[in-house]
Amino acid sequence: MLVALTVQNVVLIEKLDLAFDAGLTVLTGETGAGKSILLDALGLALGARADAGLVRQGASQASVTAEFNLADDHPVLAILAEQEIDIDGGLILRRQLGSDGRSRAFVNDQPVSIGLLRRLGDALIEIEGQFEAQGLLDPATHQRHLDGYGGNESKAAVCGAAHRRWRDAVAAYETAQAELDRAKADEDYLRHAVEELELAHPLPAEETELVAERALLANRAQLIEAIDAVNVELAGDKGADRAIAAAQRRLDRLGDRLGDQATHQLQPVVAALDRASIELAEAISQLQHMAADLDADPKRLDRIEERLYLLRDLGRKHQVPVEALPDLLAKLTQRLANLDDRGQNMAKLQGEVETSRKLYIDAASALSKARQKAAKAMDAAVNAELAPLKLEKARFATRIETAPEEHWSATGWDRVTFEVATNPGAPPGAINRIASGGELARFMLALKVTLAANQPVPTLVFDEVDAGIGGATAAAVGERLKRLAKAVQLLVITHSPQVAALGHQHWRVEKSGSKTATTTTVRPLDEPARREEIARMLSGATITDEARAAATKLLASAS
């Protein structure tokens, strides 16, 4: 609830510090004293549109600060948590307005946007006046109020969950369908690309091997010449193989002449020459094979060049390195295979769309039936409040229409609108278009009293709800305000002594001035002062003893 309001330099207000109690607070005062200025100031703190004309003449800046205590389950807490704003010690909204029309907003001394301030303000205080276009006058709130009155929150939650499942299923189906459409549009390309790559049959590391072989073949003539020269050195008439063979024969003859002892000592040398002969023969054989390979396929170099060109052309075409072509072929082949799988998956997703849509229809239908039942009960309750408020010819009705499917939402398919007919036989219409200023405030009061148990906003402001009425009607208004104040905090600007007498807290708005300045102040009234104020409201400028006696009687009956 609202616990304090500080106003500085707003129109005629120089400085005000107001502390609020729970229950019903009434503000009275003569016409033109500045009661509406208080509402303008409060509106600034709640994020209302700023006007440089609100800054007191001669001041450079106006400032309004509103302090609130919040219940543990207040919806504002979720907004503050979302914005990472600490609320230890209470919630303080502050608005500064410069004489140039620029304004700044703060929440617990943290700078915030005006939009966030307005969002918080809408959840903290609701102003019901003759010309206010918020609260119950906003059709967007009617469905929520009806659900609160009928206790349909759980059905609404089930409907919301069903709607989310349905929309998620539709989104999944549409995404899969778009992917399938794209895949089908690319199917000819995919098949051509796969056939082309399969025909090329790229192998891992193939480019590296081909480049190495090409380098070898590019130097074929020099290699053959070198191999021939080496072969002559190794196997020619004076080659190494003949030299080794000659050495082996000499050692054999030497062993024969010198006997077994010499043969034994020469054995390691003979073995080494044998190994050398074998290795040399292997080297000569490899050289011969190498020379034969170089001579065997004179066109091999051309084919390597063609293969490299083909692979590199495919790489450029698909914008991948040559070594990635085998992986690309595997991926494209899998995409083709997925076309058949996606077709099967689409049938599964379509089934989920149909199932979830049916669940939503069931939930929305159950919610709509519950709303129809609640609307009948609420209409009867509101209409029962109208006659005592001098609206006996009026009729309140809740219109519930089914929206087209494209407008079905998480809150169901109902369009809920509160309507009134102010004269018998007249067709009902939107409450804010049919009712006059004074009627409108009383309609709001009847609705608020009916909805009090489910009132989401903890503080209500009624601006001249008793305009144009008096006597028994004013008393009826006051009785309903008193009843409503048991459920929420109420601030009421009133000209009715019957209403003023019921306040738990009573302030008088006064205007004083000199030749140079006019100032609006707010004075809390004790019991004697309250009696005088109510007597003034009863009798006018001259307060009589009869008026004081009547005021005493009103206060006594109100307690």
Contacts with 23 (C-beta within 8 Å, 6 or more apart), sequence order: 485, 486, 489, 490, 504, 505
Helix (H, G, I), strand (E, B) or coil at 429: strand
- Residue 307 has a CB neighbour count (10 Å cut-off) of 17
From residue 291, alpha-carbon distances to 23, 278, 283, 305 in Å are: 111, 20, 12, 21
Q: What percent of the chain has pLDDT over 90?
A: 42
Query: Is 126 within 8 Å of 137 (Cβ atoms)?
Result: no
Query: Is 493 within 8 Å of 502 (Cβ atoms)?
Result: no
Contacts with 161 (C-beta within 8 Å, 6 or more apart), sequence order: 363
Rounded to an integer, the average pLDDT of 427-435 is 76
Query: Is 374 within 8 Å of 144 (Cβ atoms)?
Result: no
Q: What percent of the chain has pLDDT over 70?
A: 90
Residue 135: its pLDDT value, please?
A: 61
Closest to 28 in 3D by CA, of 522, 551, 462, 509? 509
Q: Is 276 exposed, middle or buried (0-12, 13-18, 19+ CB in 10 A)?
A: middle
Distance, CA of 294 to chain centre: 72
Distance, CA of 335 to chain centre: 35
- Residue 48 has a CB neighbour count (10 Å cut-off) of 20
Rounded to an integer, the average pLDDT of 499-528 is 88
List, for residues 198-211, the tens digit of each pLDDT value.
Answer: 999 999 999 898 88
Separation between Cα atoms, residue 483 and residue 502, nearest integer Å: 10
Residue 157: its pLDDT value, please?
A: 95
From residue 460, alpha-carbon distances to 23, 86, 195, 480, 537 in Å are: 10, 25, 75, 13, 24
Helix ranges (DSSP H) in 126-186: 142-150, 153-185
Rounded to an integer, the average pLDDT of 269-296 is 75
Closest to 508 in 3D by CA, of 523, 521, 527, 519? 523
Separation between Cα atoms, residue 15 and residue 506, nearest integer Å: 19
Q: What single letter denotes the amino acid at residue 410?
A: A
Contacts with 17 (C-beta within 8 Å, 6 or more apart), sequence order: 4, 5, 6
List, for residues 155-197, the tens digit of each pLDDT value.
Answer: 999 999 999 999 999 999 999 888 888 777 777 888 899 999 9
Rounded to an integer, the average pLDDT of 463-477 is 78
**Residue 540 pLDDT greater than 60, yes or no:** yes
Query: Is 478 within 8 Å of 503 (Cβ atoms)?
Result: no
HEC assignment per residue over 472-502? HHHHHHHHHHHHHCCCCEEEEECCCHHHHCC
Q: The tokens of 273 are what? A: 């020459």
- Range name among 54-58, 214-218, 549-553 with the lowest pLDDT average: 214-218
Residue 336: its pLDDT value, please?
A: 80
Mean pLDDT of the chain: 85
Residue 156: its pLDDT value, please?
A: 95
Separation between Cα atoms, residue 55 and residue 64, nearest integer Å: 11
Q: The tokens of 52 are what? A: 């440089």
Higher pLDDT, 85 or 402: 402
Q: The tokens of 57 are what? A: 């003449």
* 393: Cα within 13 Å, side-chain hemisphere: 8
Q: What single letter denotes the amino acid at residue 535?
A: A
529 beta partners:
none
**Residue 226 pLDDT greater than 50, yes or no:** yes
Separation between Cα atoms, residue 243 and residue 234, nearest integer Å: 9
List, for residues 366-407, the tens digit of each pLDDT value.
Answer: 999 999 999 999 999 999 989 888 888 889 999 999 999 999
Closest to 88 in 3D by CA, of 108, 74, 111? 108
Helix (H, G, I), strand (E, B) or coil at 202: coil
Separation between Cα atoms, residue 414 and residue 296, nearest integer Å: 88
List, for residues 324-366, the tens digit of each pLDDT value.
Answer: 999 999 998 887 877 767 777 888 899 999 999 999 999 999 9
Separation between Cα atoms, residue 304 and residue 548, nearest integer Å: 119
Q: Beta strand 429-430 with 414-421: parallel, antiparallel or unpaired? A: antiparallel
**Residue 422 pLDDT greater than 50, yes or no:** yes
Residue 279: its pLDDT value, please?
A: 81
Nearest-5° Cα angle at 551, 546 to 552 = 100
Residue 138 host element (H or E): none
Separation between Cα atoms, residue 410 and residue 60, nearest integer Å: 48
Contacts with 295 (C-beta within 8 Å, 6 or more apart), sequence order: 224
- Range name among 171-185, 234-248, 269-283 with the lowest pLDDT average: 234-248
